[in-house]
Amino acid sequence: MDVKQQKLNKEYQIYVQRKMPKSNLLRDCILAFLVGGLICTIGQAVNNFGKSYFNLNTEEASAFTAIVMIFIGALLTGLGVYDDIGKYGGAGSVVPITGFANSIVSPAMEFKKEGYVFGVGSKLFSIAGPVLVYGITASVLVGLIYFFVK
Amino acid sequence: MEYLRAFLVGGLICVIAQIIIDKTSLTPARVLVCFVTAGVILTAIGIYEPIVKFGGAGATVPLPGFGYALAKGAIKGVEEMGAMGAFVGGVRAAAGGITAAVVFGYLAAVLFNPRMKR
Protein backbone atom coordinates (compact mmCIF):
# COMPACT_ATOMS: atom_id res chain seq x y z
CA MET A 1 0.00 0.00 0.00
CA ASP A 2 1.53 3.31 -0.99
CA VAL A 3 1.61 6.45 1.08
CA LYS A 4 -1.23 8.07 -0.80
CA GLN A 5 -3.52 5.11 -0.18
CA GLN A 6 -2.66 5.12 3.52
CA LYS A 7 -3.48 8.79 3.79
CA LEU A 8 -6.79 8.19 2.05
CA ASN A 9 -7.66 5.37 4.43
CA LYS A 10 -6.90 7.54 7.42
CA GLU A 11 -9.04 10.36 6.12
CA TYR A 12 -11.86 7.92 5.49
CA GLN A 13 -11.65 6.62 9.07
CA ILE A 14 -11.97 10.15 10.41
CA TYR A 15 -14.87 10.80 8.04
CA VAL A 16 -16.67 7.65 9.21
CA GLN A 17 -16.17 8.51 12.84
CA ARG A 18 -17.59 11.99 12.31
CA LYS A 19 -20.63 10.64 10.47
CA MET A 20 -21.45 7.91 12.99
CA PRO A 21 -24.53 8.78 15.04
CA LYS A 22 -23.35 9.71 18.50
CA SER A 23 -25.20 7.69 21.08
CA ASN A 24 -25.75 9.85 24.08
CA LEU A 25 -25.97 7.43 26.98
CA LEU A 26 -27.59 9.84 29.43
CA ARG A 27 -30.26 10.93 26.96
CA ASP A 28 -30.94 7.31 25.93
CA CYS A 29 -31.27 6.26 29.56
CA ILE A 30 -33.67 9.06 30.49
CA LEU A 31 -35.89 8.26 27.50
CA ALA A 32 -35.75 4.51 28.24
CA PHE A 33 -36.67 5.24 31.87
CA LEU A 34 -39.63 7.44 30.93
CA VAL A 35 -41.03 5.22 28.17
CA GLY A 36 -40.42 1.95 30.05
CA GLY A 37 -41.81 3.41 33.26
CA LEU A 38 -44.90 4.71 31.48
CA ILE A 39 -45.63 1.34 29.84
CA CYS A 40 -45.33 -0.38 33.23
CA THR A 41 -47.64 2.22 34.82
CA ILE A 42 -50.24 1.42 32.15
CA GLY A 43 -49.65 -2.26 32.97
CA GLN A 44 -50.33 -1.51 36.64
CA ALA A 45 -53.61 0.18 35.69
CA VAL A 46 -54.63 -2.87 33.60
CA ASN A 47 -53.67 -5.12 36.53
CA ASN A 48 -55.77 -3.12 39.00
CA PHE A 49 -58.68 -3.07 36.53
CA GLY A 50 -58.55 -6.89 36.29
CA LYS A 51 -58.46 -7.23 40.06
CA SER A 52 -61.37 -4.91 40.78
CA TYR A 53 -63.70 -5.61 37.82
CA PHE A 54 -63.12 -9.33 37.24
CA ASN A 55 -62.14 -10.22 40.84
CA LEU A 56 -58.89 -11.84 39.66
CA ASN A 57 -56.30 -13.04 42.17
CA THR A 58 -52.67 -11.91 41.89
CA GLU A 59 -51.61 -14.66 39.46
CA GLU A 60 -54.68 -14.33 37.26
CA ALA A 61 -54.29 -10.56 37.21
CA SER A 62 -50.66 -10.92 36.02
CA ALA A 63 -51.76 -13.22 33.19
CA PHE A 64 -54.62 -10.82 32.32
CA THR A 65 -52.13 -7.92 32.24
CA ALA A 66 -49.75 -9.87 29.98
CA ILE A 67 -52.57 -10.71 27.55
CA VAL A 68 -53.88 -7.12 27.39
CA MET A 69 -50.39 -5.57 27.05
CA ILE A 70 -49.47 -8.01 24.27
CA PHE A 71 -52.71 -7.13 22.50
CA ILE A 72 -51.86 -3.41 22.75
CA GLY A 73 -48.27 -4.02 21.58
CA ALA A 74 -49.38 -6.11 18.60
CA LEU A 75 -52.06 -3.59 17.59
CA LEU A 76 -49.72 -0.57 17.83
CA THR A 77 -47.07 -2.44 15.83
CA GLY A 78 -49.61 -3.25 13.13
CA LEU A 79 -50.69 0.39 12.98
CA GLY A 80 -47.02 1.44 12.73
CA VAL A 81 -47.19 3.49 15.92
CA TYR A 82 -44.85 1.27 17.95
CA ASP A 83 -41.93 1.99 15.61
CA ASP A 84 -42.28 5.68 16.47
CA ILE A 85 -42.31 4.88 20.19
CA GLY A 86 -39.24 2.69 19.67
CA LYS A 87 -37.36 5.50 17.93
CA TYR A 88 -37.42 7.51 21.16
CA GLY A 89 -37.83 4.87 23.83
CA GLY A 90 -34.97 2.54 22.88
CA ALA A 91 -34.78 -0.20 25.49
CA GLY A 92 -37.80 1.35 27.20
CA SER A 93 -39.91 0.08 24.32
CA VAL A 94 -38.02 -3.21 23.82
CA VAL A 95 -37.93 -4.70 27.34
CA PRO A 96 -41.62 -4.42 28.37
CA ILE A 97 -43.84 -7.25 27.11
CA THR A 98 -45.30 -4.86 24.50
CA GLY A 99 -41.81 -4.92 22.93
CA PHE A 100 -41.99 -8.72 22.90
CA ALA A 101 -45.25 -8.41 20.92
CA ASN A 102 -43.53 -5.92 18.62
CA SER A 103 -40.67 -8.37 18.00
CA ILE A 104 -43.26 -10.96 16.96
CA VAL A 105 -45.46 -8.84 14.67
CA SER A 106 -42.71 -6.81 12.95
CA PRO A 107 -40.80 -9.61 11.15
CA ALA A 108 -44.01 -11.59 10.48
CA MET A 109 -45.58 -8.57 8.77
CA GLU A 110 -42.36 -7.85 6.87
CA PHE A 111 -42.10 -11.37 5.44
CA LYS A 112 -45.78 -11.85 4.57
CA LYS A 113 -44.93 -11.97 0.87
CA GLU A 114 -43.08 -15.24 1.49
CA GLY A 115 -46.40 -16.86 2.32
CA TYR A 116 -48.52 -17.60 5.35
CA VAL A 117 -46.56 -20.65 6.49
CA PHE A 118 -42.88 -19.86 6.01
CA GLY A 119 -43.40 -16.11 5.89
CA VAL A 120 -45.82 -15.18 8.67
CA GLY A 121 -45.88 -18.50 10.53
CA SER A 122 -42.16 -18.97 11.02
CA LYS A 123 -41.07 -15.32 11.22
CA LEU A 124 -43.46 -14.84 14.16
CA PHE A 125 -40.84 -16.73 16.14
CA SER A 126 -37.62 -15.22 14.82
CA ILE A 127 -37.09 -13.43 18.16
CA ALA A 128 -39.87 -14.96 20.28
CA GLY A 129 -38.45 -18.43 19.49
CA PRO A 130 -35.06 -17.90 21.18
CA VAL A 131 -36.79 -16.12 24.08
CA LEU A 132 -39.09 -19.13 24.64
CA VAL A 133 -36.28 -21.68 24.14
CA TYR A 134 -34.02 -20.12 26.77
CA GLY A 135 -36.81 -19.07 29.12
CA ILE A 136 -38.57 -22.45 29.15
CA THR A 137 -35.33 -24.47 29.31
CA ALA A 138 -34.08 -22.37 32.23
CA SER A 139 -37.41 -22.78 34.05
CA VAL A 140 -37.34 -26.59 33.63
CA LEU A 141 -33.78 -26.66 35.02
CA VAL A 142 -34.88 -24.53 37.97
CA GLY A 143 -37.83 -26.86 38.59
CA LEU A 144 -35.63 -29.97 38.46
CA ILE A 145 -32.98 -28.47 40.76
CA TYR A 146 -35.76 -27.49 43.17
CA PHE A 147 -37.08 -31.07 42.99
CA PHE A 148 -33.70 -32.52 43.99
CA VAL A 149 -32.69 -30.05 46.72
CA LYS A 150 -36.15 -29.64 48.25
CA MET B 1 -47.99 5.21 45.28
CA GLU B 2 -48.50 1.84 43.61
CA TYR B 3 -48.30 3.52 40.20
CA LEU B 4 -45.17 5.47 41.16
CA ARG B 5 -43.43 2.27 42.30
CA ALA B 6 -44.39 0.51 39.05
CA PHE B 7 -43.04 3.49 37.09
CA LEU B 8 -39.73 3.55 39.00
CA VAL B 9 -39.04 -0.21 38.94
CA GLY B 10 -40.12 -0.62 35.30
CA GLY B 11 -38.12 2.42 34.25
CA LEU B 12 -34.99 1.21 36.06
CA ILE B 13 -35.13 -2.25 34.44
CA CYS B 14 -35.32 -0.55 31.03
CA VAL B 15 -32.38 1.73 31.92
CA ILE B 16 -30.25 -1.35 32.73
CA ALA B 17 -31.12 -2.76 29.29
CA GLN B 18 -30.35 0.58 27.63
CA ILE B 19 -26.89 0.71 29.24
CA ILE B 20 -26.18 -2.88 28.12
CA ILE B 21 -27.28 -2.07 24.54
CA ASP B 22 -25.23 1.16 24.40
CA LYS B 23 -22.10 -0.15 26.11
CA THR B 24 -21.83 -3.61 24.57
CA SER B 25 -22.45 -4.95 21.09
CA LEU B 26 -25.45 -6.99 22.24
CA THR B 27 -28.45 -6.54 19.94
CA PRO B 28 -31.89 -5.88 21.46
CA ALA B 29 -32.92 -9.46 20.57
CA ARG B 30 -30.02 -10.90 22.60
CA VAL B 31 -30.88 -8.58 25.48
CA LEU B 32 -34.44 -9.96 25.47
CA VAL B 33 -33.13 -13.54 25.70
CA CYS B 34 -30.70 -12.55 28.49
CA PHE B 35 -33.41 -10.71 30.42
CA VAL B 36 -35.87 -13.61 30.34
CA THR B 37 -33.16 -16.03 31.47
CA ALA B 38 -32.03 -13.56 34.13
CA GLY B 39 -35.64 -13.33 35.34
CA VAL B 40 -35.77 -17.14 35.71
CA ILE B 41 -32.46 -17.27 37.63
CA LEU B 42 -33.21 -14.27 39.86
CA THR B 43 -36.57 -15.82 40.76
CA ALA B 44 -34.93 -19.18 41.54
CA ILE B 45 -32.48 -17.60 43.99
CA GLY B 46 -35.23 -15.53 45.60
CA ILE B 47 -34.19 -12.05 44.45
CA TYR B 48 -36.99 -11.27 42.00
CA GLU B 49 -39.94 -12.04 44.29
CA PRO B 50 -39.24 -9.00 46.57
CA ILE B 51 -38.85 -6.81 43.45
CA VAL B 52 -42.30 -7.96 42.27
CA LYS B 53 -43.75 -7.35 45.75
CA PHE B 54 -42.41 -3.79 45.64
CA GLY B 55 -42.79 -2.85 41.98
CA GLY B 56 -45.93 -4.74 40.94
CA ALA B 57 -46.45 -4.39 37.19
CA GLY B 58 -43.13 -2.52 37.03
CA ALA B 59 -41.49 -5.89 37.63
CA THR B 60 -43.96 -8.24 35.90
CA VAL B 61 -44.50 -6.30 32.63
CA PRO B 62 -40.80 -6.15 31.55
CA LEU B 63 -39.38 -9.37 30.11
CA PRO B 64 -37.70 -10.56 33.35
CA GLY B 65 -41.29 -10.76 34.64
CA PHE B 66 -41.97 -13.40 31.98
CA GLY B 67 -39.01 -15.38 33.34
CA TYR B 68 -40.43 -14.82 36.84
CA ALA B 69 -43.77 -16.35 35.81
CA LEU B 70 -41.99 -19.34 34.20
CA ALA B 71 -39.72 -20.06 37.19
CA LYS B 72 -42.42 -19.54 39.79
CA GLY B 73 -44.74 -21.83 37.82
CA ALA B 74 -42.07 -24.56 37.53
CA ILE B 75 -41.44 -24.48 41.30
CA LYS B 76 -45.18 -24.57 42.04
CA GLY B 77 -45.52 -27.45 39.58
CA VAL B 78 -42.83 -29.46 41.39
CA GLU B 79 -44.61 -28.87 44.69
CA GLU B 80 -47.89 -30.15 43.26
CA MET B 81 -46.79 -33.14 41.15
CA GLY B 82 -43.10 -33.80 41.67
CA ALA B 83 -40.50 -33.90 38.89
CA MET B 84 -43.10 -33.80 36.12
CA GLY B 85 -44.22 -30.43 37.45
CA ALA B 86 -40.89 -28.95 36.29
CA PHE B 87 -42.04 -29.63 32.73
CA VAL B 88 -45.67 -28.64 33.21
CA GLY B 89 -45.65 -25.74 35.65
CA GLY B 90 -43.58 -23.11 33.83
CA VAL B 91 -45.48 -22.93 30.57
CA ARG B 92 -48.80 -23.38 32.39
CA ALA B 93 -48.11 -20.23 34.39
CA ALA B 94 -47.06 -18.29 31.28
CA ALA B 95 -49.70 -19.84 29.00
CA GLY B 96 -51.86 -16.70 28.75
CA GLY B 97 -48.94 -14.56 27.60
CA ILE B 98 -47.57 -17.15 25.16
CA THR B 99 -50.97 -17.82 23.58
CA ALA B 100 -51.80 -14.12 23.37
CA ALA B 101 -48.43 -13.49 21.69
CA VAL B 102 -49.06 -16.20 19.09
CA VAL B 103 -52.72 -15.35 18.36
CA PHE B 104 -52.60 -11.53 18.50
CA GLY B 105 -49.19 -11.57 16.79
CA TYR B 106 -50.55 -13.70 13.96
CA LEU B 107 -53.72 -11.62 13.55
CA ALA B 108 -51.82 -8.32 13.54
CA ALA B 109 -49.28 -9.63 11.01
CA VAL B 110 -52.07 -10.86 8.71
CA LEU B 111 -54.37 -7.83 9.01
CA PHE B 112 -51.77 -5.05 8.75
CA ASN B 113 -49.05 -4.27 6.25
CA PRO B 114 -45.69 -2.64 7.01
CA ARG B 115 -45.98 1.11 6.78
CA MET B 116 -43.99 2.83 4.05
CA LYS B 117 -40.78 4.40 5.28
CA ARG B 118 -41.34 8.11 5.54
pLDDT digits (tens, 9 = 90+) for B56-83: 999 999 999 999 999 999 999 999 999 9
Which whole number is the average pLDDT over A127-134?
Answer: 94
Decide if B87 and A140 are in contact by the 8 Å CB cutoff.
Answer: yes
Q: Which domain holds residue B24?
A: 2-111
Residue B116 in any domain: the answer is no
Residue B117 in any domain: the answer is no
- How close is the nearest chain A Cα to the Cα of B52, in Å? 11
Q: For residue A125, which amino acid is it?
A: F
Burial class (CB in 10 A: 0-12, 13-18, 19+), B8: middle
Complex ipTM? 0.92
Question: Tens-of-pLDDT digits for all 118 residues of chain B?
Answer: 899 999 999 999 999 999 999 888 888 889 999 999 999 999 999 999 999 999 999 999 999 999 999 999 999 999 999 999 999 999 999 999 999 999 999 999 999 988 755 4
- How close is the nearest chain A Cα to the Cα of B51, in Å? 14
Give me the residues paired with residue A96 across strands: B62
Decide if A63 and B97 are in contact by the 8 Å CB cutoff.
Answer: yes
Residue B18: list chain A partners with CB under 8 A: 25, 28-29, 32, 90-92
Residue B65 in any domain: the answer is yes
Q: What is the pTM of this model?
A: 0.88
The domain total for chain B is: 1
C-alpha A13/C-alpha A10 separation (Å) is 5
In the three-class reduction of DSSP (H, G, I as helix; E, B as strand; rest coil), residue B62 is classed as strand
